[in-house]
Amino acid sequence: MRVLVISDVHANLSALSAVLDDAADQYDTIWSLGDIVGYGPRPNECIAALCEHEHVAVPGNHDYGVLGRIALSDFNPDARGANLWTRAQLTPPSLQYLSGLPEKIVIGEFTLAHGSPREPVWGYLLYPRTAYDSMAFFDTPVCLVGHTHVPVIYAAGDGEAVALPPQPGVTVLLDDGRYIINPGSVGQPRDGNPAASYMLLDTVARSFSHRRVSYDVARTQADMRSFGLSPRLIARLDQGW
């Protein structure tokens, strides 16, 4: 099976559309690792665009924020403001879609979660140490996560995990070890590269390809401006932070 692995779309329809175009005909299904909404200007449209494709999805902390399942006091002011705006925009079908997502999904050799296998919605895997400690909390060879908006492959070694920064266009073959893999963010990359980030997975070949695609950032920013979203959230899309 060929899988388009995406995460952290954050209501950025221009970025999601660019990824879907770029990956067209190269995947059979989509795995979405959460935060389809929050920050960006087109939450309903992004849910609708995803639902046009065969896919599975887990919820992220922003998705849970709009549903009222986690307290917005845990969000920074920009995230909180955007989340309240998003909450007011979401249609009943969008809310119904988000409220039905399971926090963790296991498909064959892969566990899907937003933050970490230990704390699926809120956990952060920012360092090899925490990635290594998380290996005990899933049973499959590979766990796919998002949440940090930074693409990375953590490979479990002897008593530690090694972080392998994925190179765009380079295919990585998985060996018999264990991995935690983050495809990066479609709609708000934070690794200094503003291009939308995603991965293509071949479950038979056991290979991952990291991809970056530029999108119409100005269009997303103009939408955000017209809806009165935070200038800081608008500015960060230019630089990828």
Instruction: Tell me whether residue 35 or residue 191 sits nearer to Zn ion (CB atom).
Output: 35
35 binding Zn ion? (CB under 5 A):
yes
Please report whether residue 8 would count as binding Zn ion according to CB under 5 A.
Answer: yes
Nearer to Zn ion, 58 or 156 (CB): 58
Q: Cα separations (Å) of 4 from 27, 31, 110, 134, 236?
A: 6, 6, 13, 24, 25
Helix or strand holding residue 26 (H, E): none
| Smallest distance, Zn ion to C-beta of residue 68, A | 18
Number of residues that bind Zn ion (CB under 5 A): 2
- The beta strands (E) that lie in the chain are given as 2-6, 29-32, 55-57, 105-107, 110-112, 142-144, 152-156, 161-164, 171-173, 179-182, 196-202, 207-213
Between 32 and 221, name the residue whose CB sits nearer to Zn ion: 32
Of 53, 67, 54, 4, nearest to 33 by C-alpha is 4
Considering only 5-13, 23-31, 77-85, 192-200, which stretch makes contact with Zn ion by CB under 5 A? 5-13
Minimal distance in Å, beta carbon 11 to Zn ion?
Answer: 11
With binding defined as CB under 5 A, does residue 223 bind Zn ion? no
Using only C-alpha atoms, what is the Rg of the chain? 17
Question: How far apart are CB 207 and Zn ion at their closest, in Å?
Answer: 26
- Strand 142-144 versus strand 179-182 pairing type: parallel
Q: Which region among 34-42, 73-81, 125-133, 164-172 touches Zn ion (by CB under 5 A)?
A: 34-42
| 191 is an interface residue for Zn ion by CB under 5 A | no
Q: Which residues bind Zn ion (CB under 5 A)?
A: 8, 35
